Amino acid sequence: MFRLVHTLKGLSGLFGAAQIAGLSHELENVLDDLRLGRIDLTPLVLDCLFQALDLYSKILKAERDNTTAGQTEIEGTLLSLARISQQNAAAGTTLVAPYEIEPGLLGVLSEYEEHRLRANIQEGQRLYRIFVKFTLTSFETSLDEFRELAKQAGEIISYLPTGADTDPNTIELQILFGSPHAIESLGPLFPTARVEEVKRRKTSPSRPAGSLAPRRDTPAGMAAVRGPIMTMPPPSELAPHDTTRAILQDPTVRSVSQTVRVDIRKLDHLMMLVGELAIVKTAMSRLAERMRAQSELRRPTGELLRLHKSFERHLLLLQDAILEVRMVPLGQVFDKLARVVRQFSRELSKDVNLVITGAETEIDKLIVEELSDPLMHMIRNALDHGIEAKEERVRVGKPVVGTIALNAFQKGNHVVIEVEDDGQGIDADALMASALRLGLVNADEVRSMTRREVLGLIFQPGFTTKRAATDLSGRGVGLDVVKNNIARLGGVVDVTSETGTGTKLTITLPITLAIINVLLVEVGGQLFGLPLANVDEVLGFVDGALRIVDGAETISLRGASLRVCRMHQLLEIHPAETLRSSLVVITVGQRRVGFVVERMLGQESVVIKSLGESLRRVRGIAGAAELGDQRVVLILDATGLVEEVFATEKETIRLRARSLPT
């Protein structure tokens, strides 16, 4: 971190970014003290480091938006960093600054070598540069002999090849040496070497000539950066072809990076083009089928089919490649949550460990961007409502430090994210009491609710178990937003809890929203697409297998009851006449529903397109897609359909309960 901030300071100076340079200068001093053990990493110091990190983002955002960053906050952060460094000013970087040591040498010193350099200065030793040549054939032996000789007069701090020797059979080293002896007594000790004493600078030690670091005595360390950055002959002194040759021959000009940054919108455009090619592929297939029926076109039809197969194979490879580029690890989100846990746990005076597993699990970039807020709400609720206070945990025999586990894994075409805590769990009785108090349910509904439905009340808008709002919770805004945001991504969130043991929230999401496989079905003479990732199985359906349970149609499927919904009733369209219907079993999270459709037309890969702002909030519709025969089909939202089925069932139970005599 120290070296990265040091590099950032130099780059900021190069581009005249004085605020970034000043902040980096103060931050560099603190990190230097930390890495060499001169100060302890206390919560106060850690807070200051996080504050500096936030300030970088604010300064960059202000620069991008052409506004002014808060000067008061900048000065406050710089002052805090300076105070931390000044606590150990006697052992700070001012020890080395008065000496004329080349920046190149200081830049390659290891932490231990820097420590020994400072120790020699503190002990009042003199510093020397010793230039000595060694023959390559006897290098190791000669160097060992030199070390033994040097121990008699002082301490070798560091070695650095000079690169000045032109003889391929020898190597010259510059040795940084600390000794209490004067230079006159060292000459006879090293007769084959050249010894130079490291002099003190004539300029002020706090501002070496050409330094990129702003002075501490300038207002808030925000001085404009001055001094030479690099030395190079002006273009006018070079021949026209010399400039190009000098650049091309410089090996440092070539990039060693194997990565490029791509705007996600460009990937979306590529995915759209792949979708258009998929339509062309289907059209080619239909054309070949029509040509096959004509005997005189049999030979060109065979060639067309071979081309179609090759085209289809390469299109699938292209589709997979673009999807792979869009995939990013969930660690991008998980790493940020560690800081959220630290901040909230300190505000609540609770000790909590965040355990992360599965951070390498990959998901679509667009989905990752939308996960930050839902996961933060879930973590915050686990801290505030789940993890008990320290005294309570001790009383019930739990470790003082609570645990929040964040786990992710791939399950088929979905990614599952679990947020689990070892807190007090959810009290179902208290939950129902709060729901009654807020008017979300009535007494009749409570009597007919299962435990799963009771726990699901935490996702109701406006629901909270707290009577007074705090800075973290109690306003009834949070988990309902989580549920809506996850549903918008085509996912679902479930909750399980055991009183006194803990609570687990489970998010199930599709891996990608770009290209999906859909099952084409016909309802009321109209064509619809069902996401194949949510389809468990397809069965033949006859009305005689239906049973009525609690006013809802169900069938027995392998010994378990399955809720059945007629798709035309849910979509409110007239059914078409058919002799035999099909039952499409859809699973969303832990819920399963069998949807009755008139017939199936196979499956197809499609690119979902938005319906626009005016129709985007229509429940149960995820978007639209174009098929190979230029027909447009609506893609149904499996999550929305299942939610609608159970919401309708709950409303039926509510109406029936109201009609019962009191």
Q: Quick: pLDDT tens for 350-372.
A: 889 999 999 999 988 888 888 88
pLDDT for position 20: 86
- Strands of 194-197's sheet in order across: 155-161, 170-179, 126-135, 194-197
- Segment 469-484 shows an average pLDDT of 61
Asked if 59 and 23 touch (Cβ cutoff 8 Å), the reply is yes
Q: Which fold has domain 330-510?
A: Heat Shock Protein 90 (3.30.565)
**Superfamily name with CATH number, domain 515-659:** CheA-289, Domain 4 (2.40.50.180)
Confidence of residue 540 (pLDDT cuts 50, 70, 90): confident
Q: Is a pLDDT exceeding 80 seen at residue 471?
A: no
**H or E segment at 364?**
strand 362-364
pLDDT for position 416: 92
**Superfamily name with CATH number, domain 107-201:** Ribosomal protein S6/Translation elongation factor EF1B (3.30.70.60)
Top-tier CATH class for 1-95: mainly alpha
- Going by the DSSP 8-state scheme, the letter that residue 197 receives in this structure is E
pLDDT for position 179: 92
Confidence of residue 103 (pLDDT cuts 50, 70, 90): low
- Segment 224-240 shows an average pLDDT of 37
Q: Which residue has the higher pLDDT, 37 or 659?
A: 37
Sequence-distant (≥ 6) Cβ neighbours of residue 430 within 8 angstroms: 465
- Segment 99-111 shows an average pLDDT of 69
- For 314-338, the pLDDT digits (tens) are 988 888 888 888 888 998 888 888 8
Domain ranges of the chain: 1-95, 107-201, 264-328, 330-510, 515-659
Task: Please tell me the pTM assigned to this model.
Answer: 0.60
Average pLDDT, the chain: 78
pLDDT-above-90 percentage for the chain? 9
Asked if 177 and 155 touch (Cβ cutoff 8 Å), the reply is yes
Category of 533 on φ-ψ map: left (φ > 0), alpha (ψ -120 to 50) or beta: alpha
How many CB atoms sit inside 10 A of residue 325's CB?
A: 14
Q: Is a pLDDT exceeding 90 seen at residue 292?
A: no
- Burial degree of 142 (CB within 10 A; 0-12, 13-18, 19+): middle
- Segment 220-224 shows an average pLDDT of 35
Q: Is a pLDDT exceeding 90 seen at residue 407?
A: yes
Asked if 620 and 644 touch (Cβ cutoff 8 Å), the reply is yes
pLDDT for position 417: 93
- Segment 337-342 shows an average pLDDT of 85
pLDDT for position 358: 92
pLDDT for position 422: 92
Q: Which residue has the higher pLDDT, 418 or 457?
A: 418
Q: Is a pLDDT exceeding 80 seen at residue 219?
A: no
Q: Is a pLDDT exceeding 90 seen at residue 166?
A: no
- For 12-41, the pLDDT digits (tens) are 877 778 888 888 888 888 888 888 777 888
Of the candidates 490, 513, 465, 472, which has an alpha carbon nearest to the alpha carbon of residue 326? 513
